[in-house]
Amino acid sequence: MMSSGHALRDYAMRLGDDALVLGQRLSEWCGHAPMLELDLALANIGLDLLGQAQHFLAYAGALEGKGRDADALAFHRDVMDFKNCLLVEQPNGDFAQTMARQFLFSTWHELYLDALTGSNDATLAAVAAKGVKETTYHAKLSSEWIVRLGDGTEESRARVIHGLDWMWRFVDELFHDDLVDESVTVSGAGVARAALRPAWDARVDAVLADAGLERPAPRRGIIGGRVGRHSEHLGHMLSEMQFLQRAYPGATW
């Protein structure tokens, strides 16, 4: 039986890792986006997510009680200790693939953080209340781009179809409740993931309809990120993200 303290720590760490990993992925676009405004948009979304990650990971570190702060958790953990979902660690691919990932994730993230504002855990509720306002923008921007790409040229349409197709198998994990989710949800601090699926389906279907796109064919969802079974992509990403603190532990600006 897992103690609820450990479950709450893991729960906060998962929320932090989702935001941290996607924030880092988005920062890879800095200076490479198709146009200046998009460069700013992707960097700003990444920055919002890094801010959320900092709050969730700081809380996870405090609950753990071993003196690890958000930086220690971000820079000195190995890949199997990361608890993010598989969707956020997927490579950026082209711009359409990045927008597909953002659209699927942010649509979920907005619903999730909105529900988390009702948590009986004051810290989780406060960070969620703050984060959901930012995430609303992320969902809106990425939804608009799905429509623009899907309803755009033959080339943009083919690319967004490919991007959605690549990301679709990682969607089920967003709605998969395991022991940690259940334990924290029963105590009133967490959110039941599965319950958010109908609302997510409706929002995603509405945007896809606007874009003139079909839902990708159903397929077996892949899960495992929450317990540290990651795709090979995450290790490569961390080797860059963690390089400086690994090579020069404790270095500061």
Partner 1 sequence: MSALLSSRVLDVLGDVPDPEIPAVSVVDLGIVRRVDDEAVHITPTYTGCPATIAIERMIRKALDDAGMRDLDIVIDLSPPWTTDWISDEGREKLRAYGIAPPPRGDGRGTLKAEAAVECPRCGSTEVEEISRFGSTPCKALMRCLSCAEPFDRFKCH
Nearest in space to 21 (alpha carbons), one of 125, 134, 109: 109
Cα 48 off chain centre by: 12
The whole-angstrom separation of Cα 166 and Cα 160 is 10
Contact 207, 106 (CB under 8 A): no
Rounded CA-CA distance 124/56 in Å is 8
CB nearer to partner 1: pick between 19 and 161: 19
**Piece in contact with partner 1 (CB under 8 A), picked from 68-76, 129-137, 227-235, 244-252:** 129-137
Among 22, 88, 132, 191, binds partner 1 (CB under 8 A): 132
Nearer to partner 1, 52 or 98 (CB): 52
Handedness of CA 25, 28, 32, 38 (dihedral sign): positive
Distance of CA 100 to the CA centre of its chain: 13
Among 27, 136, 231, 242, binds partner 1 (CB under 8 A): 136
DSSP 2: -
Of 248 and 253, CB closest to partner 1 = 253
Nearer to partner 1, 122 or 247 (CB): 122
Kindly state whether residue 126 participates in binding partner 1, applying the rule CB under 8 A: yes
Minimum gap (Å) between residue 91 Cβ and partner 1 = 22
Q: Site size for partner 1, by CB under 8 A?
A: 31
Considering only 131, 163, 190, 216, the residue that binds partner 1 (CB under 8 A) is: 131
CA distance 237 to 253: 22
**Residue 127 touching partner 1 (CB under 8 A):** yes
Q: Is the dihedral of CA 153, 156, 162, 167 positive or negative?
A: negative
Which residues form the interface with partner 1 (CB under 8 A)? 23, 37-38, 40-41, 43-45, 47-52, 54-55, 122-123, 125-127, 129-134, 136-137, 140-141
